């Protein structure tokens, strides 16, 4: 087993009026929310994909299919806990995670401490191992038109 492994995650969800907006395990007050089979928490989904990729365990869709009714509306924190159990079973622990959320509105910066605290608790890691950043796309593309949210994550894991 290699000493260090790196994984990358990317996810996107459509935004729709009247939906709850789950991001980083918490509800963000906004008139729009993300749409998906689960709670559509794009931040947790990219973390799951980056961790699974780093461990060579495929992707979130392989483990939690959007065709499986048991995952309809599921809290993504449950999926993240299951991903952490898979990593632990393989003998890996998190070195660090670096996440960028792309969203025009609402502003995410005020919510980052609460998201970090929530996710660190779910993953059972120190909060300083998780970097959360947010950016807009300067009103360009689907994110800029407020049609969707996207996120990227890089994960470093080790035995």
- Residue numbers belonging to the annotated binding site for a divalent metal cation: 11, 13, 45
- Tell me how far the alpha carbon of residue 48 is from its chain's centroid: 6
Look up tokens 């990729």; give the residue: 53
Q: Which amino acids are annotated as binding site, given as ranges?
A: 11-13, 37-38, 45, 59-61, 64-68, 135-138, 142, 145
Structure-block tokens of residue 143: 């994110």
Q: How many CB atoms lie within 10 A of CB 133?
A: 14
Measure the CA–CA gap between 109 and 113, rounded to whole angstroms. 8
Q: Report the Cα–Cα distance between both ends of the chain, in Å, rounded.
A: 8
């Amino acid at each position: 087993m290699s000493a260090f492994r790196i994984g990358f995650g990317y996810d996107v969800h459509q935004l729709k009026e009247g939906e709850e907006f789950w991001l980083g395990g918490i509800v963000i007050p906004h008139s729009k929310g993300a749409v998906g089979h689960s709670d559509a928490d794009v931040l947790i989904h990219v973390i799951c994909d980056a961790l699974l990729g780093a461990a060579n365990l495929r992707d979130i869709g392989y483990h939690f299919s959007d065709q499986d009714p048991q995952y309809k509306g599921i809290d993504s924190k449950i999926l993240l806990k299951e991903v952490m159990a898979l990593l632990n079973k393989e003998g890996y622990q998190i070195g660090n995670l670096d996440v960028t959320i792309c969203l025009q509105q609402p502003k995410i910066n005020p919510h980052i401490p609460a998201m970090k605290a929530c996710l660190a608790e779910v993953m059972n890691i120190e909060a300083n191992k998780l970097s959360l950043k947010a950016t807009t796309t300067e009103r360009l593309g689907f994110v800029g038109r407020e049609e969707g949210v996207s996120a990227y994550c890089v994960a470093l894991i080790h035995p």
